[in-house]
Amino acid sequence: MMNIQCLSMGILISASCQVSAQQVHQSTDWSTARLGPTINTEYAERYSMISPDGLILYFASDRPDGLGEFDDEGRKPWDIYVAWRESIEEPFGAAVTLGPTINSPYRDHSTAFSEDGHWMYFASDRPSGCGGYDLFVSYREDVKDHFGWELPEHLGCTVNTPGDEVCPYFTVDERSGKPLLYLVRNETAGVRSADIYVSEVDETTRELGRPTPMIELNSSAHDAHFEPTHGFIMSTREGGYGGLDLWRTNLLPGADEWSQPTNLGPSINTEHEEGLPSSTTNQQLFFPSNRPGGYGSFDIYVANPAGH
When pLDDT is cut at 50, 70 and 90, the band that residue 176 belongs to is: confident
Report which residue type is found at 177. Answer: G
Cβ–Cβ < 8 Å for 242, 271 = yes
Q: Write down the CATH number for the domain with range 15-305.
A: 2.115.10
DSSP string, 34-77: E--TTT--SS-EEEEEE-TTS-EEEEEE--TTSSS---TTS-PP
When pLDDT is cut at 50, 70 and 90, the band that residue 308 belongs to is: low
> Above 60 in pLDDT, residue 54?
yes
pTM, 2 dp = 0.90
Question: How is the chain split into domains, by residue range?
Answer: 15-305
- The β-bridge partners of 84 are 56
> Above 80 in pLDDT, residue 48?
yes
What's the mean pLDDT when you consider all of the chain? 90
Cβ–Cβ < 8 Å for 305, 29 = yes
pLDDT for the residue 217: 96
When pLDDT is cut at 50, 70 and 90, the band that residue 206 belongs to is: confident
When pLDDT is cut at 50, 70 and 90, the band that residue 253 belongs to is: confident
State pLDDT tens for residues 106-165: 999 999 999 899 999 999 999 989 999 999 999 999 999 999 999 999 999 999 999 999
Q: Which one has a higher pLDDT value, 74 or 186?
A: 186
Cβ–Cβ < 8 Å for 120, 109 = no
pLDDT for the residue 8: 38
pLDDT for the residue 256: 79
What does the alpha-carbon distance between residue 119 and residue 229 come to, in Å, rounded to a whole number?
Answer: 18
